Structure 1
Amino acid sequence: MDENRAVKVQEKLEDAKRKNKFSENINEENIDEEIRKLERTHKRISTYQRFVDAFEKDLDIDPGRLMGLTDGIFSIVMTLLIFGMALPEEKIVNYTGFIDFIGSISSVAGVVIVSFILLASFWLYHHEFMKIKKLNIPYIWLNMFFLANICFIPFTTSIIGNYSHFFLSNVIFGLNILSVVVFFLLMFYYAHKRGFLEEYTSEEDKKHVYNTLYIVMGATVIVNLLDFNVNPNFIYLFLLVPIISTIRHIQYMMKRV
């Protein structure tokens, strides 16, 4: 072993000892073995890093196509909400029967309106906060999972509209809305971290987005608990979400002026 190699090995060993990777009884007899371990570890780390770099590499895809897909899914899902209100199987032959039918679907109609307002709010948040200039595979799939949860809203809306007296129906609807918010948060965090955003890149902008979404998350939990434990009409408190968000947006823009 030449002098330069010996110095290099000694430096690596001292560094390894400081990090408690090797025992203190390392001697010249197993120096080469420890060096090979270090080299294998470095190779594994290097291979993993190359995989991560390839996985997170920016794609040559126009972000506008993803935005177009998102808009299309939102429009379809918002339209599908109305299918949760079906006409009766038997033909209504008198006015009393018609009144009874309207009363039977009133709760479903109310929840449909609530869900439509929430979807409209999520659509606005997506266009306001997610102004993307680049894409990669992780971000695309985060967006896809976000859209998958959006697609479940008509189904969970029908569940809570018809079976709101069951606590599980409230849980399913609440988890659906929460999952939408969670994936939106993950999308925003990842896009901000990777520098994909055209705007909202400062810490103040980031804080505004997070706080807005935290309000929606908190409202989802509180409203669903009140809806089941106190009165089903508390679900209409969801209608305050766009109002609160609008007020926060106005306050935020006033600070920037």
Structure 2
Amino acid sequence: MSQLSRKAWMEKVTAYSKELRLPMMAQHLEMHVQEANQLDLCYEEFLAHLLQKECDARAEAARTSRIRLAQFTHKKYLEDLSLVDLPEDAQKKLKHLQSLTFIEEGRNVILSGNPGTGKSHIGIGLGLRACQEGYKVWFTTVPLLINQIKECRSQQTLRAFQNRFEKYDLVIADEMGYISFDKEGSELLFTHLSLRAGRKSTIITTNLSFERWGEIFRDPVMTAAMIDRLTHQSYLVNMNGNSYRLKETKEWLQTQQLT
């Protein structure tokens, strides 16, 4: 094959790759051809190699997209947790939770305990793991969720929001209990979390025990109904313990003193 005809064939392959939306093949064809020549690959091996690269790139792009659309405020991975510094109940249950079977089962996870013990870190870490495994995830705080629902209702887009909200494989609702709600906010939160109950998974992080949820919902009947709906067949994780965040702060301060 002459250099000119080879160039023409390469141009054709590149053009076909773009038309078929195979960007890895289009952008790196020359490199893959050289690699195949070095490895002395047959045509079938070369084709499989090209398609594998394309699939790998597409899967990575999808993972990146899922993480971006999840709207995490921070990237906190499970691998960054110090297991021995977590509350005892979290140490026992984290191994099972990170298998993500609770998502397949449509079961909730409620992380309840005093501030700084790793609740949000675990919630976000499980969410990131779920994104990497192909699940559709959304992260929000409870106050922001209520505000968004109210805005959608005022703009008459609530039905569209509800449809999206129901379809997430996992919703992480952070910071339940930091701000109390008015009656409207409580009712809207109850209604929307109920849409997912028993079918899709929700992770709730809260600094209040269930006995104190009445402080934020201000309605004994609704509080009881909310607790019953959220905790049914859920994984309850007691996060009361020493502050994980305070320990990290002290360690950081010590390193600053040494420098």
Q: Please state which band the TM-score falls in when normalised by the shorter chain.
A: under 0.3
Structure with greater strand share of residues: 2
TM-score with structure 1 setting the length: 0.25
Who wins on radius of gyration, i.e. which is larger? 1
Structure with greater helix share of residues: 1
Query: Comparing both chains, which one has the higher relative contact order based on Cα–Cα distances under 8 Å and sequence gaps of 6 or more?
Result: 2
